[in-house]
Amino acid sequence: MKQFISVHDVNNIDALVQKALAYKASPFADKNLGINKRIGCLFLNPSMRTRLSTQIAAQNLGMECIVFNVGQEGWALEFEDEAIMSGNSVEHVKDAAPILGKYFDILAIRTFPSLKNREDDYSELYIKQFIKYAGIPVVSLESATLHPLQSLTDIITIQENLLNSPLGDRDKPKIVLTWAPHVKALPQCVANSFAQWINAWGKADFVITHPEDYELSEEFTKGATIIKNQEEALKDADFVYVKNWSTYRDYGKIYANDPKWQLKKKRWAVTNNAKVMHCLPVRRNVELNDEILDGPMSIVTQQASNRVWAAQAVLSEILRNND
Ligand code: CP
């Protein structure tokens, strides 16, 4: 693996999942793989799970990890080529990234979308400029449109639950991604990425449900069944992934915030005793209620704890392939 920006950087999803599960069973199996190597984790936006799990994963491999909260502590970066920098930006990525490429062996970056201009966000300019100018492998810690470490974690968690509770005579689990209400306009990254990975994985009956006008980009959803009626979509589901996203077509808007879309126990009852997933952080009693989050159906803590093994599997692959 040369970089980790999307599912397209992965040759074999199942092999990567198995590698992550092997690290979960034996966290220090490759404790010398990253000796004398350094990863720089740049955060242009806030994080808890991604930041800490990536640090732990790097340490498990013997790597040094340096975190830089660029968004709070660094110079304001410019990303546009040929920009006349007479505004707020102080340093061009063209100047900063090559230096980071000398300091580190791997560069990991979190950069959220603006949600103001779809073409700009979906061009993934920020992460692409780091790839172009850093000259070392780049790992996405969530970009403008995708969150691949989260999606790998999600499949690891689904796989673990399938191992513990097989499907009987069915050959595929039913996985439903459902939109949920939220008070803020959120990126489409987690939903896009989950759809992209589940479609590429190809081992699920995959359904997406959302209110009218909340269609995601077909670039990511193609292959999934879209059902606008949540109750119908949830029928017999084995896994329900709950997530809010803002509108894609009329970009970055909140059209609906209907609490009817919050997954309640009564509606969950139509599922096949489904495990409920969420990437976290979650707004309790807005996106998901206490009854679900604190109930036996919730696997959100298991899911978030698996972030370490996802990051460790990815870093390990990059270390092995970039010597
Ligand atoms: N799910 C996730 O990426 O969490 P953080 O924003 O806390 O990193």
Give yes or no: residues 174 and 92 share one domain: no
- Ligand 1 within 6 A of 150 CB? yes
Give yes or no: residues 13 and 109 share one domain: yes
CA–CA dist 185, 175 (Å, integer) = 25
In a domain, 191, yes or no: yes
Give yes or no: residues 134 and 152 share one domain: no
Q: Residue-wise pLDDT tens for the chain (323 aa)?
A: 999 999 999 999 999 999 999 999 999 999 999 999 999 999 999 999 999 999 999 999 999 999 999 989 999 999 999 999 999 999 999 999 999 999 999 999 999 999 999 999 999 999 999 999 999 999 999 999 999 999 999 999 999 999 888 787 888 999 999 999 999 999 999 999 999 999 999 999 999 999 999 999 999 999 999 999 999 999 999 999 999 999 999 999 998 788 999 999 999 999 999 999 999 999 999 999 999 999 999 999 999 999 999 999 999 999 999 86
* CATH at residue 117: 3.40.50.1370
- Ligand 1 within 6 A of 275 CB? no
DSSP letters of 282-313? --BTTTB-HHHHTSTTB-HHHHHHTHHHHHHH
- Output the CA 238–ligand 1 centroid distance in Å: 24
In a domain, 2, yes or no: no
CA–CA dist 144, 237 (Å, integer) = 29
Give yes or no: residues 39 and 154 share one domain: no
CA–CA dist 303, 280 (Å, integer) = 9
In a domain, 234, yes or no: yes
Give yes or no: residues 217 and 202 share one domain: yes
Which residue puts its alpha carbon closest to atom 6 of ligand 1?
47
- Of ligand 1's listed atoms, the one at least distance from the Cα of 147 is 3
In a domain, 158, yes or no: yes
CA–CA dist 298, 275 (Å, integer) = 6
Give yes or no: residues 117 and 172 share one domain: no
Give yes or no: residues 153 and 298 share one domain: yes
Report the run of H or E that residue 66 belongs to, with start and end.
strand 64-68
How many domains does the structure of the chain reveal? 2
Instruction: For the full predicted model, state whether its pTM sits above 0.75.
Output: yes
Give yes or no: residues 131 and 229 share one domain: no
Tokens 């997933």 sit on residue: 277
In a domain, 1, yes or no: no
Give yes or no: residues 316 and 264 share one domain: no
In a domain, 253, yes or no: yes
Give yes or no: residues 180 and 270 share one domain: yes
Q: CB of 267 within 8 A of CB of 230?
A: yes
Count Cβ atoms below 10 Å from residue 117 Cβ, excluding itself.
12
Count Cβ atoms below 10 Å from residue 267 Cβ, excluding itself.
17
In a domain, 14, yes or no: yes
Which residue puts its alpha carbon closest to atom 1 of ligand 1?
279
Task: Give residue 300's domain range.
Answer: 148-304
Give yes or no: residues 195 and 293 share one domain: yes
- Of ligand 1's listed atoms, the one at least distance from the Cα of 51 is 8
Give yes or no: residues 210 and 313 share one domain: no
- H-state helical runs in 143-237: 148-164, 189-201, 218-221, 230-234
Q: In what order do the strands lie in the sheet with 138-140?
A: 64-68, 38-43, 106-110, 138-140
